[in-house]
Amino acid sequence: MIGQAGAGGQQERGGRATSIAGRIARRSAGLVALFGAVLLVVGFAMGVPSVQPPAPVYTAGQQAQLDAEGRYRTLAAEARAAATTDPALGGMLTALADDLTAQSDAVALPRSPASPDAPTSAPASASVSAPASAPVDGARVMALLRDSALRSLRDAGGAEPGPARVLASAGANQWRHAVVLGAALGEDPGLPPVEASPGADVTAGSASGSPGGDVPADCDGTPLGPEADRQALLSARTAEEQARFGYEVAAALLPEAAPLLARSATHGVAAEAAARRLAGLCTEVAPAPAGFAIDRVFRADPAAALRELEEDHVGLYAGLVATVGPDTRAWAVASYNAAVQRSIDAGTPLVTFPGLGAGPAASGQGGPTEPADG
């Protein structure tokens, strides 16, 4: 009995050992299979490229904004670097950099809600950087600034109304900064005459009417183009005629008449250009009045009244940039830039966005208003 019990215990222990070994083998096989499946999945994932979101597609106007943002930020960095190497121009270049930074923020496209603080990535073509060996100095900044001003005004002529105002104001501001920097350096910034700035083809779309704006013979009595364009041109023509007359009066009241008469002629040319565009739209233009009423404020201080008049023109044209149609926007942008430069010549301080805080129409306070009787 004792011998048989020992043999049975050995068989039982042997069975348990066999069962444990079997379980271990099965678990090992399962782990090996799982590991193999993981390898297969990883290998498949590595072999198949992940699906990337499509690259954004921008309109021409949006691309112009992206380019402008990158250009302005690069220019701001260049101006700050030049300010450290040329202390004599430090204050001027730092003010320029501040304006450019504000302009780059204003022209930027809306950020993605997922990353509101991430900078918009402007394409490489937006950069205005030159070879690394080029010295960073005032002359280099002036040249880059000139190119940026011209590009901004040209892009504004083809942009949508809102961005057009920002691009135009940035271009006008940069134009003036280039002029001021050139004067400080004793160098010509290389800008064209302000009346011939980009988009200043004031006779584009016009027929061969007379300088007075006679409607061409082939018009059938139906005005052409958007009503907003015709109203903008009529407003501009009236404002320019008022300025023409105002400078003539000031020339009779102030000691140095020649520059005032020259500026009167400039406004007269602008008035005739608006009349020609109206004629090209088959719109009848009334003859310019012989004169306008002059109030006591104007007679008491003609210089201050003319400065206010020029500032009103900036606000007028800034509004017209947004209200006219695509065919007339380039004219409005060029007229706006000319108004900004004349306003600063008259004593208005340079600001980051000239005229964007003013209303779309000139107030006329202190200057010529209604046509004088007779």
Which residues have a Cβ under 8 Å from the Cβ of 333 and sit 6 or more positions away?
153, 156, 157, 164, 168, 171, 198, 199, 321
Judge whether 141 and 79 are in contact, CB under 8 Å: yes
Judge whether 243 and 309 are in contact, CB under 8 Å: yes
Same domain as 316, residue 209: yes
pLDDT in tens, 300-350: 999 999 999 999 999 999 999 999 999 999 999 999 999 999 999 999 999
- Domain containing 297 equals 201-345
Question: What does pTM read for this prediction?
Answer: 0.76
Same domain as 141, residue 219: no
What was the pLDDT predicted at 11? Answer: 54
> Which residue is it, tokens 């011998």?
3
pLDDT in tens, 156-185: 998 999 999 999 999 999 999 999 999 999
Burial of 350 (0-12, 13-18, 19+ CB in 10 A): middle
User: 283-297 burial string, b = 16+ CB within 10 Å, else e?
Assistant: bebeebbebbebeee
pLDDT at 208 over 50: no
pLDDT in tens, 217-251: 678 778 888 999 999 999 999 999 999 999 999 99
Q: Would you state the structure tokens that stand for residue 220, as one six-digit string?
A: 């059938």
pLDDT in tens, 244-270: 999 999 999 999 999 999 999 999 999
What was the pLDDT predicted at 295? Answer: 85
Band of pLDDT at residue 117, cut at 50, 70 and 90: very low
If you ran DSSP here, which 8-state letter would residue 89 be given?
G
In a domain, 40, yes or no: no
User: 47-79 burial string, b = 16+ CB within 10 Å, else e?
Assistant: eeeeeeeeeeeeeebebbbbbbbbbbbbbbebb
What distance separates the 2 farthest-apart alpha carbons in the chain? 149
In a domain, 271, yes or no: yes
In a domain, 172, yes or no: yes
Same domain as 185, residue 86: yes
Q: Would you state the structure tokens that stand for residue 23, as one six-digit string?
A: 């379980």
In a domain, 244, yes or no: yes
Domain count for the chain: 2
Q: What is the CATH number of the domain that holds 171?
A: 1.20.1260
Same domain as 333, residue 206: yes
